[in-house]
Structures are given as C-alpha cells and as structure tokens.
Amino acid sequence: MQTLSHLTRLTLPGDVVMTALRLYRELGRGEQYDKLLKTDFGTLWKAHAHREANAFYKCFFASWKVLDSRQRTLLLDSTVAKNKAESLYKNIVRIFEQIHAPKASPFALGSVEIGELVKILYYDVYGTEKTAYQKLSAPRPITVKSTEPTSKRELCDQLVALRAKLKKESESETLLIDTAFLIDFVNMELFKLDDHEPVAILLWYILAIQSDVSALRYVSFFETMLAHLPDYKSAYQKIRLHWNSGGADVVAMYRWFLQILLTLSDRLYVVARDYEYETQLEITKTDYIENTIDKLSDTFSKDDIREKHPLISDSTINRTLKRLQEEEKIRPLGKGRSAKWIKLYKKPSKKGLMTQLGLDLGDEA
C-alpha cells in the first residue's frame, strides 16, 4: 500500500497538471454526449463490449492462441469452449458485456467483489486454489494488542479502505488515486495468480467508468491501449522494479493514463460531431458509409469504417460492403476479421485551376 499511503505527499509536474486540467474540461461534456449518443448506443453496446474484450485479450493474453474465426463464434452464448484459451476468451467477453450492459449494477469495490471478478475471469481456466487469496507466509497470532493481518484478503480490505479514505478527503484527484491503487494491487500479489496485471487494469477500467469518464462507454480504451502498449509496458516494468524499495513512479503511469483518456476524449468529440451530422442527413446510412469508403485509400478494412462510424452497426456496414461488391465497385482481399477490401474504380483526379478556367498554357508557336 506504499504508493497509496504516500500519495498526499506527491508533487505533480506541471505538464501532468495541465494534461489533467484539459482532460477534466473534456469530461465535463459527458452529460452532453450521453444525451446525444445514448439512444442509438443502447442498441450497439454489445458490439462495443466485444471490441473491448477482443482488444483486452490481445493486450494481455496474446500468447493464448484463439483463431479470429473462432473468436467470432465464441461471442455466441450457445458456443461451448473447447479448451482453456477459449474458456478465457468467453470469460473476458462475459465480463465486458456485464460492464457495458445498459442497466449494469455498479461494482462495489471490496475484497469479496474483487475475488468474484478473479473467479469469473479464470473460470474453467485455473482451479479454485490458484484464484484464491494468498495466506501470509508467517501469520502473526491475533492478540488484544496485535492488529496485523493474517491473510492477503485482509490486506486487500485495507487497500480498498485506504482508497475510500483518500477519495472522501479529496486531497488527490480520483484517477491518480485509482492509478496508485492499481500499482499497489499488482505488486501486493494478493492472489496465487502468475500475473495480477489484467485484473488490476480491469479494476481501474471499471472504476474509471463509474467515475463518469464518458469516453470509455463509446470509444475503445483497449484498442487505444494496444496501439500504445510499448509505452505502457515501459512504465509498468519500472514500477515493478522499484515498488519494493518504495520508489514506484506513479507519475509515469498516471501521465500515460491521462494521455490515453485525452486521446479517447478527442475521438469522442469527433464521434459526437459526426453523429450529429449524420442524424441531420437525408441520405441513408449505407450511402453515408459509401461516401466514407470513397474518401478512404484504395485498400481499406472494416475497422477503417468503424473508426469513422462507431455508432453504425456491423450489419449496416456489411450490407453496404455487400452492395458495393455486387455493383463491382469493390472486392475483398482475403477472409476473416482482418480482411481488407480494394476499390475497383479510380477517382478522377482534380483539375488544375488553369484547366478549370479553360486556359491552354501549351507551348507557344
């Protein structure tokens, strides 16, 4: 708990303070975004949850091989996992569906709830022994004068209580508190797991959503994390190296989270702007997607379209691609989730100004 316990004595660099201020200005628009986007997003929340689950899996469990085609099949409730890797993938999908469900119950942070999250994540992957709280190697006898914990579950309760105390006293910013909580959680190794990082990140993500970071409900955090994973891993390894000596650099990790959330907030602004524009258009959504495809490079993917239109359903995108294929305007390059498409037409090049004016500037006689 040394990171959380020292938090009130921490002095933040000027650039971190300014980034936090800019982020909170963006977070202040959350209610406005919810009013604009929530109606349509109510039908698309599951697609967002599945994108987050897939990217989370790639960030932390890429070595657990599950084919792309099989990943799509595992999204179905009726599909039965064939091995531990597939069980893990289905568990991750289940967790993100619960997080993003329109009427999801708030996560009550406590040692019991954290223990349940660990069991859900590793259900049919690890045995109950490995997902249980660790016992302290040399527990002290409980006497009238002794208040030392005898198990790591008690340490978890203390960590949660310290976080709640810091939040109530409002001496540190919430995202900074939760970043310090993540660092302590990982390094205290409360469970018998080989790696506490995925659980810690999930807890941070859930707490950030409950702190009204609106961008996390509409734009993929873990896809953005995947794109900036080396910087995260660098900050994470330094923390792991220095935590035991009391020198864990919470600022580096906090700065990384702030920058990622600011990136998401900027993307959400664009999503909201485009969505508002789309709702005022008289053309159909498929026509609007076709216009977007026309502006993309000659080779493009469905993800390129989703990035521009995160609130348009996959079925609408697929319907548009199928129509354009039938019209022989595009054709697929390969199969599967990562398949690309190629345009079969060339856009006319723009005429120069002199040509548009009808002036012939050929060689003079």
At 348 the pLDDT is: 61
Task: Indicate if 127 and 161 belong to the same structural domain.
Answer: yes
Q: In what order do the strands lie in the sheet with 330-333?
A: 299-301, 340-343, 330-333
At 291 the pLDDT is: 87
Task: Indicate if 247 and 286 belong to the same structural domain.
Answer: no
359 has pLDDT over 50? yes
Instruction: Output the CA–CA distances (angstroms, integers) from residue 247 to 186, 233, 358, in the order listed.
Output: 15, 17, 71
Residue 299, domain member (yes or no):
yes
Residue 240, domain member (yes or no):
yes
Residue 6, domain member (yes or no):
no
**Of the listed ranges 58-67, 193-202, 216-225, 312-321, the one predicted with least confidence:** 312-321
When pLDDT is averaged across residues 147-158 and rounded to a whole number, the result is 82
361 has pLDDT over 60? no
- 3-class DSSP string for the chain: CHHHHCHHHCCCCHHHHHHHHHHHHHHCCHHHHHHHHHHHHCCCHHHHHHHHHHHHHHHHCCCCCCCHHHHHHHCCCCCCCCCHHHHHHHHHHHHHHHHHCCCCCCCCCCHHHHHHHHHHHCCCCCCCCCCCECECCCCCCCCCCCCCCCEHHHHHHHHHHHHHHHHHHCCCCHHHHHHHHHHHHHHHCCECCCCCHHHHHHHHHHHHHHCCCCHHHHCCHHHHHHHCHHHHHHHHHHHHHHCCCCCCCHHHHHHHHHHHHHHHHHHHHHHHHHHHHHHCCCCCHHHHHHHHHHHCCCEEEHHHHHHHCCCCCHHHHHHHHHHHHHCCCEEEECCCCCCEEEECCCCCCCCCHHHHCCCCCCCCC
pTM assigned to the model: 0.77
Confidence class of residue 212 from pLDDT cuts 50, 70 and 90? confident
More confident residue, 347 or 128: 128
pLDDT per residue as tens digits for the range 168-197:
998 889 999 999 999 999 989 999 998 899
Task: Indicate if 89 and 212 belong to the same structural domain.
Answer: yes
Indicate the number of domains in the chain: 2
pLDDT per residue as tens digits for the range 270-279:
888 887 777 7
Q: How many C-alpha atoms does 218 have within 13 Å on its Cβ side?
A: 32
247 has pLDDT over 80? no
pLDDT per residue as tens digits for the range 16-65:
999 999 998 888 888 888 888 877 776 778 889 999 999 999 999 999 98
At 355 the pLDDT is: 53
More confident residue, 347 or 46: 46
Task: Supply the CATH number for residue 252's domain.
Answer: 1.10.3290
* Residue 225 in tokens: 């994390």
Q: Report the percent of the chain where pLDDT is more than 70.
A: 87
Instruction: Write out the residue range of the structural domain in which residue 63 sits.
Output: 44-271
Task: Supply the CATH number for residue 335's domain.
Answer: 1.10.10.10
Residue at a domain's end among 271, 294, 323: 271
Buried b / exposed e over 102-135, threshold 16 CB at 10 Å, is: eeeeebebebeebbebbeebbbebbeeeebbbee
